[in-house]
């Protein structure tokens, strides 16, 4: 369940694995931002990229049998991976 807040945001409740929750908390603490901001930072662009890739795959109601990188998805995934490595290097 969610509802709209100011500035076009949504307030939502999710259940996360303990490890993920702790990692979001750690990122938030290290960057001196809220956990909400950390989650948006970590998930925002990635969710948009994944949605863009999935939009290129016809939907027939069956689970997607994605087993290897192809075309645009390969490019997006490799770009995101390189960005993640860059962020890790900056944090060291």
Report pLDDT digits (tens) over 34-63. 999 999 888 887 888 878 877 776 677 666
* Predicted pLDDT at 35: 93
Contact present, 72 and 50 (Cβ < 8 Å): no
- State the Cα–Cα distance between residues 8 and 77, nearest whole angstrom: 28
Range 22-28 average pLDDT: 94
Would you place residue 32 in the very low, low, confident or very high pLDDT band (cuts 50, 70, 90)? very high
Whether the per-residue pLDDT at 19 is higher than 80: the answer is yes
Question: For the chain, how many structural domains are there in total?
Answer: 1
What residues make up the domain containing 67? 2-91
Contact present, 27 and 42 (Cβ < 8 Å): yes
* Predicted pLDDT at 56: 73
């Amino acid at each position: 369940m969610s509802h709209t807040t100011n500035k076009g945001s949504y307030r939502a409740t999710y259940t996360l694995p303990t490890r993920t929750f702790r990692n979001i908390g750690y990122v938030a603490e290290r960057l001196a931002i809220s956990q909400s901001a950390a989650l948006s930072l970590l998930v925002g662009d990635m969710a948009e990229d994944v949605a863009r890739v999935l939009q290129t795959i016809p939907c027939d109601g069956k689970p997607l049998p994605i087993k290897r990188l192809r075309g645009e998805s390969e490019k997006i995934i490799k770009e995101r991976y390189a960005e993640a490595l860059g962020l890790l290097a900056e944090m060291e």
